[in-house]
Structure 1
Amino acid sequence: MNKKLPVLCPSCTEELSVEKLICNSCETQVVGNYKLPLFLKLSAEEQDFIMQFFLSSGSLKDMAKQLDVSYPTMRNKVDDLISKINLMKDE
């Protein structure tokens, strides 16, 4: 099972930040207070969708076929995701 990095505090639901990164090879540690990249703030389903889009060379027509949905349904899903990302960018 792949664990997804939590992005919201389980207590107050505010956005979490990254404090420490560790190299699994040499155990070097980087400590600080870093914002999460926007892509990681998306749900696992949204991240998978973007990856599928990328791997299908950005063809909504091909993705619609693969997922057995209509092109307008696929277009609406992309538009919704674009809107969500634009809102997150402005935060």
Structure 2
Amino acid sequence: MQPKLPIQCPSCENALSVTQLSCENCATIVSGNYSLPLLLQISEEEQNFILQFFMTSGSLKEMASQMGNSYPTVRNKLDDIIQKISSLKQNQNR
């Protein structure tokens, strides 16, 4: 099992940023202070929901059937994720 990329500080729970990237082939190292991509800033559960949405071609009806939930429950979950991503995007642009 591959380790998961942490997105929050284990001490204060603030968002982590990427400060170093390296090439395994030539050992080049790039340093700086970069924010995580937007979709990595949401929970694994939210990422899985988006993946399932994609895999069902955006059919909330199909997702509701697969998840054993009602359409309004799935729609509300999608709306919550949209709101969270919009907020993160707004904060990134500041």
Q: What TM bracket, shorter-length normalisation?
A: 0.7 to 0.9
What corresponds to 1:20 in structure 2? 20
Query: What is the aligned-residue identity percentage?
Result: 58
Runs of 4+ in 1 over 3 A off after TM superposition: none
What corresponds to 1:48 in structure 2? 48
Aligned AA (1:3): P
Aligned AA (1:73): T
What corresponds to 1:10 in structure 2? 10
What corresponds to 1:79 in structure 2? 79
Aligned AA (1:16): L
Unaligned runs of 5+ in 1: none
In 1, distance between residues paired with 2:4 and 2:42? 11
- 1:50 to partner: Cα distance: 0.5
Unaligned runs of 5+ in 2: none
**Coordinate RMSD, CA, aligned:** 1.4
Task: Figure out how many residues of one structure are paired with residues of the other and give that number.
Answer: 91
In 2, distance between residues paired with 1:58 and 1:88? 22
Other structure's SS at 2:10 match:
coil
Query: What do residues 52-74 of structure 1 show as CA deviations (whole Å, max 9, x unaligned)?
Result: 11111111111111111111111
In 2, distance between residues paired with 1:80 and 1:61? 17
Aligned AA (1:24): E
**TM-score, normalised on structure 1?**
0.87
In 2, distance between residues paired with 1:71 and 1:2? 34
In 2, distance between residues paired with 1:41 and 1:25? 28
Any conservation in 2 of the 1:4–1:44 contact (CA below 8 Å)? no
Other structure's SS at 2:75 match:
helix
What corresponds to 1:65 in structure 2? 65
